[in-house]
Amino acid sequence: MRDGILTLVVGAIPVAVIIFEVQIILDNINGAENIHMISWFMYFAIVLFLVVTVQLSIVVNYALLCFEEYRWWWKIFRYGSSTGFFIFLVMINYLLLDLQVQTTTSLATYWIGAAMVSSLIGLMTGAVCLLACWQFNLYIYSNIKAD
């Protein structure tokens, strides 16, 4: 398996799944009457994002175990945290196409904020995927019957 291609695929699929929900949230962020709908929709998008990321990492983890890769934990963390890079690309796309930033200070603030948010999302998804795969490995190895 190619690590770079697999990292891109595992990182891009969860972001592609929630991109529609994120676009709805960003389009309705200014409306005060939609604040309750936006918050519940955001919770749904986060849960969907984490579920898809964890499921992909468990499938990749199983494939790595079938190839007898004993360093699976670093690869799973990297695959899970690669979603942060794609979130950063979505945020930059939103900056370039939808926002009308006038000052350099606003631009720098947005870039720094986007980098911090995408880094934290990457760390969160990497950690969640690593813990889920750890539990999966404990479960499958505890059910091995050696006669």
* pLDDT at res. 40: 81
Q: Given pLDDT bands bounded at 50, 70 and 90, which one contains residue 147?
A: low
Q: Given pLDDT bands bounded at 50, 70 and 90, which one contains residue 139?
A: very high
Lowest mean pLDDT segment, chosen from 29-38, 100-109, 115-124? 29-38
Q: Which domain does 134 fall in, by range?
A: 3-142
Query: How many Å apart are CA 74 and CA 94, to the nearest integer?
Result: 31
Report if residue 126 sits inside a domain: yes
Taking residues 6-34, report their average pLDDT.
Answer: 80
Report if residue 69 sits inside a domain: yes
Task: Say which amino acid occupies 28.
Answer: N
Report if residue 147 sits inside a domain: no
Report if residue 62 sits inside a domain: yes
Question: Could you report the per-residue pLDDT of 72-82, keeping only the tens digit for each?
Answer: 999 999 999 99
Report if residue 71 sits inside a domain: yes
* Average predicted confidence (pLDDT) for the chain: 88
Distances (CA, A) of 3 to 14, 42, 91, 100: 18, 31, 25, 38
The answer to whether residue 1 scores a pLDDT higher than 60 is no
* pLDDT at res. 36: 73
Q: Is 143 left (phi over 0), alpha (psi -120 to 50) or beta?
A: alpha
Report if residue 74 sits inside a domain: yes
How many independent structural domains does the chain possess?
Answer: 1
* pLDDT at res. 30: 67
Q: Given pLDDT bands bounded at 50, 70 and 90, which one contains residue 126?
A: very high
CA quadruple 112, 118, 120, 123: dihedral sign: negative
